[in-house]
Amino acid sequence: MSAYRLLFFCFAILSFSLGLEAEPTPAKRSATRETRATPEEPGITFNSVHVDGPYIAMTFDDGPSATLTPKLLDLLAAHHIKATFFVIGENVAEHPEIVARAAQEGHEIANHSWSHPNFGKMSDENVRRQLQQTDDAIKNATGKRPTLLRPPYGSITAREKRWIHDEFGYDIILWDVDPYDWKRPGPAVVRARILKETRPGSIVLSHDIHPGTIEAMPSTFDELETKGFKFVTVSELIRMAAARPSHPSPQPGGTVPASATESPSPTPSPASSPGG
Ligand SMILES: [Zn+2]
């Protein structure tokens, strides 16, 4: 929607020239009542989604794992939970049957690159190859192309976000809940961190390649359910935001783009947070 984008762009210029540009939103934006799209990238990047109900998205990165992902799929099925898997292309090529199963069981399959490099430091051509190969591998395994990307380590520049969105149509998905499970702190800590930080609209990051993460999930799911949370895929969560009634901000056509919370910076601290 170029008119909308232009309007936002003008607004951004105006804000900047008037010196009204606010400090970047902190990573924990629970205090902000009103989430909004960043002026230059409306509706492209999501750390969490502003929803009216108790909906959350569980996301699992870096798989599929030959042993752990099937275990997780069993758990998800037992709990009737739909999750989103941000898969590594070379793992998909190795175990397409696991990815096919996940898709058949209603989970969303999304692009997490071919070999987990740092996009923020790569040429466009290499990023493009990483994305296309993985897109193809997912299509081969599931019959469907992905619509979401999570850049490895959450590392991606604002410019990359734009051309990737334009070329591949991907929304860029980060997270607002990070249990740091890749540090293998033990299942109890993984569970406690997720339970403490998850709120309506959260996108929860985890990895289905660590045994402790899978071990943490049965009780994590139980307790999230007890708290009243309902589990949807990331695309479903985004669609829920898009369905909200309009805000008093410029909205040509009266529709609201899916509200995204801003990243703290174009490259959300990959060094300190090698999650994703
Ligand atoms: Zn990752």
Per-residue pLDDT in tens (0 to 9) along the chain, 276 residues: 444 454 444 444 444 444 333 333 333 333 333 333 344 456 899 999 999 999 999 999 999 999 999 999 999 999 999 999 999 999 999 999 999 999 999 999 999 999 999 999 999 999 999 999 999 999 999 999 999 999 999 999 999 999 999 999 999 999 999 999 999 999 999 999 999 999 999 999 999 999 999 999 999 999 999 999 999 999 999 999 855 555 544 443 333 344 444 343 334 433 345 678
Token pair belonging to 2: 């170029």
Residues with CB under 5 A from ligand 1 (ion): 61-62, 152, 276
Cα-to-centroid distance, 55 and ligand 1 (Å) = 23
> Who contacts 161 (Cβ-Cβ below 8 Å, separation ≥6)?
41, 44, 45, 172, 266
Asked whether the bond before 151 is cis by omega within 30 degrees of 0, the reply is: no
- What type of residue sits at position 29? R
Rounded Cα gap, residues 58 and 60, in angstroms: 7
Task: Tell me if the pTM is above 0.85.
Answer: no
**CA 23 – ligand 1 centroid, Å:** 28
Q: Is 50 designated active site?
A: no
For 253, other C-beta atoms within 10 Å of its C-beta total 9
State in Å: Cα 65 to ligand 1 middle.
13
3-state secondary structure of 184: coil
CB 245: neighbour CB atoms within 10 A?
8
CA distance 10 to 22: 16
Q: Which of 50, 61, 107, 176 is catalytic?
A: 61
Q: Which pLDDT belongs to residue 81?
A: 98
Catalytic residue (one of 178, 207, 208, 210)? 207
Would you state the pLDDT for residue 37? 39
Contacts of 192 (CB under 8 A, 6+ apart): none
Half-sphere exposure (CA, 13 Å, Cβ side) for 206?
Answer: 32
- Helix (H) / strand (E) element for 154: namely none
Residue 45 sits at φ, ψ, to 5 deg, of: -110, 135
Strand, coil or helix: 85: strand
The answer to whether 79 is a known catalytic residue is no
Q: Which of 195, 203, 200, 196 is nearest to 222 (CA)?
A: 195
Alpha-carbon span 27 to 273, nearest angstrom: 12
Domains of the chain: 44-254 (3.20.20.370)
